[in-house]
């Protein structure tokens, strides 16, 4: 069975006329802008000149540069949001992404997880190694702020082999740390990494609430 | 670095020639007017000119430029203090719209801003996950997760509008896929449409 690809549909629905996009920098606007920009002093405190026929028509250029500098310093944030809501931006897959040992992430598999919750790590303990696994056994205890599925109570402990610190198998993403907040999912008594558990993110939490309630 | 003006201009020229067409496309799709799009590109190029020594010289340089343009555009949005539908504010529309053009944009408009952003960076600006990661200052892993989630939401909205099959399947071959038997049907979500 073939489904449709929403990305491909979106690509075909590009609102921009390709003929309107310059293919190179030989056009009049591109040439004029290049001349304007390269005539500017490289010192940042100099504002863009204001002219009656401006190519650089930005008012208060210093404001734009300040926003840029603050954004670089502040890290990721949804700059295009209109409302100034308090959100936590995270969403980093625990133990990495699709490299190496990771299963492919799919929403179908996430929706079929036996447990899922929003929780903060309160302790990490060694456990006896699992048969056939080369890394030490690890159990992680969470303070659960919200169950999406498969549990109740304010604490829960799960196996988290390979998802803690230097024993992280994938070595490309964050591991579980005491005091940090996550969105956790898994099956049986095992926490899954690779997109199935992530650093806490407000938007992802909303999505999980909807997904697991369905 | 002790370089003359001419050398700096030549170094900037290489970046400019590569970035200008792409940033014009990016800005024209998102700015309120064509003049606003020109402003976005002009401001971005001026920042690049002044920060030339800070720009990566490898494959991340274009993503860096997109990241700057994104912040410039966000500042422009704040200063105009209103948001318009993408198709309402564009002056230049595709000359021949595919049949589902309006429906696709209706579905897109129902998504959250960050979902719209990551989808359009992938679909219209043709950025890779690594490039999107630089633009949004997140890891490629987070891009993959967010893009997948946004794609699923778009498919769900399209299904609600009667387009395509509610049973979505990825068109990319993934040898390690372990999709369980049966297909998870996209259930109607709880009530309210997410909007900015």
pLDDT, one tens digit per residue, over A172-190 is 457 888 888 999 998 888 8
ipTM above threshold 0.85: no
CATH number of the domain residue B130 falls in: 1.10.10.10
Domain count, chain B: 2
CATH number of the domain residue B49 falls in: 1.10.1740
pLDDT in tens, A68-119: 443 443 333 333 333 444 566 677 778 654 344 455 677 778 888 889 999 9
Tell whether B1 is covered by a domain: yes
C-beta atoms of A203 and B124 within 8 A: no
Q: Which of A71, A107, A203 sits opposite B148 (nearest CB)?
A: A107
E strands in A83-114:
none
CA–CA distance from A150 to each of A176, B120, B178 (Å)? Answer: 21, 36, 22
pTM, whole model, 2 decimals? 0.55
Output the average pLDDT for chain B: 79
Q: Which residue out of B13, B34, B42, B136 would a mutagenesis test of the A interface target, given it has the greatest number of A Cβ atoms within 10 Å? A: B42
Q: Does residue A30 surpass a pLDDT of 90?
A: yes
Tell whether B31 is covered by a domain: yes
Q: State the residue for tokens 């004029």.
A: A32
> Any chain B CB within 8 A of the CB of A110?
no
Residues 6 or more apart whose CB falls under 8 angstroms from that of B166 comprise B155, B156, B159, B185, B186
Between A199 and B40, the more confident residue is B40
The mean pLDDT of B24-37, rounded to a whole number, is: 92
Instruction: Point out the least confidently predicted range of B15-19, B57-61, B93-97.
Output: B93-97
B119 torsion bin: left (phi>0), alpha (psi -120 to 50), beta (else): alpha
**Do residues B84 and B8 both lie within one domain?**
yes
**Do residues B2 and B86 both lie within one domain?**
yes
**Do residues B52 and B116 both lie within one domain?**
no
Q: State the residue for tokens 């205890």.
A: A141
Tell whether B134 is covered by a domain: yes
Interface of A with B in 139-158 (CB under 8 A): none
**Do residues B75 and B144 both lie within one domain?**
no
All structural domains of chain A: 6-74 (no CATH), 107-213 (2.40.50.120)
Q: Does residue B190 surpass a pLDDT of 70?
A: no
Predicted confidence at residue A132, as pLDDT, reads: 58
d(CA A98, CA A43): 43
**Do residues B89 and B108 both lie within one domain?**
no
**What's the domain range around B138?**
97-166
Tell whether B191 is covered by a domain: no
The mean pLDDT of A2-27, rounded to a whole number, is: 86
Tell whether B173 is covered by a domain: no
Tell whether B188 is covered by a domain: no
**Do residues B46 and B64 both lie within one domain?**
yes
Interface of A with B in 22-81 (CB under 8 A): 22-25, 29-30, 33-34, 36-38, 40, 42-44, 48, 55-58, 61, 63-65, 67-68, 71, 75-76, 78-81
């Amino acid at each position: 069975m073939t489904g449709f690809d929403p990305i491909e549909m979106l690509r075909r629905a590009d609102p921009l006329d390709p003929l309107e996009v310059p293919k190179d920098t030989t056009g009049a606007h591109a040439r004029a802008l290049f001349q304007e920009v390269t005539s500017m002093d490289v010192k940042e405190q100099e504002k863009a000149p204001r002219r009656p026929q401006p190519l650089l028509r930005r008012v208060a250029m210093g404001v734009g540069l300040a926003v840029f500098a603050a954004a670089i310093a502040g890290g990721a944030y949804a700059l295009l949001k209109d409302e100034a809501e308090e959100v936590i931006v995270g969403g980093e897959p625990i133990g990495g992404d699709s490299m190496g040992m990771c299963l492919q992430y799919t929403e179908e598999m996430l929706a079929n997880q036996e447990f899922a919750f929003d929780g903060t790590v309160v302790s990490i303990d060694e456990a006896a190694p699992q048969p056939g696994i080369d890394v030490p056994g690890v159990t992680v205890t969470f303070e659960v702020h919200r169950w999406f599925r498969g549990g109740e109570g304010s604490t829960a402990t799960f196996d988290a082999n390979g998802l803690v610190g230097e024993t992280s198998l994938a070595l490309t993403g964050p591991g579980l740390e005491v005091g940090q907040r996550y969105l956790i999912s898994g099956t049986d008594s095992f926490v899954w990494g690779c997109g199935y558990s992530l650093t806490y993110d407000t938007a992802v939490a909303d999505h999980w609430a909807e997904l697991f309630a369905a | 670095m002790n370089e003359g003006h001419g050398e700096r201009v030549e170094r900037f020229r290489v970046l400019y020639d590569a970035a200008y067409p792409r940033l014009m496309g990016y800005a024209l799709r998102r700015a309120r007017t064509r003049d606003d799009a020109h402003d976005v590109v002009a401001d971005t190029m001026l920042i690049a000119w002044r920060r030339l020594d800070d720009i990566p010289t490898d494959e991340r340089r274009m993503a860096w430029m997109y990241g700057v343009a994104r912040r410039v555009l966000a500042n422009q949005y704040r200063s105009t203090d209103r948001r318009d539908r993408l198709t309402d504010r564009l002056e230049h529309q595709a000359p021949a719209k595919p049949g589902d053009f309006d429906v696709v944009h209706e579905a897109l408009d129902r998504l959250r801003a960050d979902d719209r952003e990551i989808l359009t960076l992938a679909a219209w600006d043709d950025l890779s996950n690594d490039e999107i990661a630089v633009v949004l200052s997140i890891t490629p892993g987070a891009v993959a997760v967010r893009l997948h989630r946004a794609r699923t939401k778009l498919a769900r909205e399209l299904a609600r509008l009667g387009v395509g099959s509610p049973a979505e399947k990825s068109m990319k071959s993934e040898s390690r896929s372990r999709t369980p038997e049966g297909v998870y049907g996209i259930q109607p979500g709880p009530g309210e449409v997410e909007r900015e």
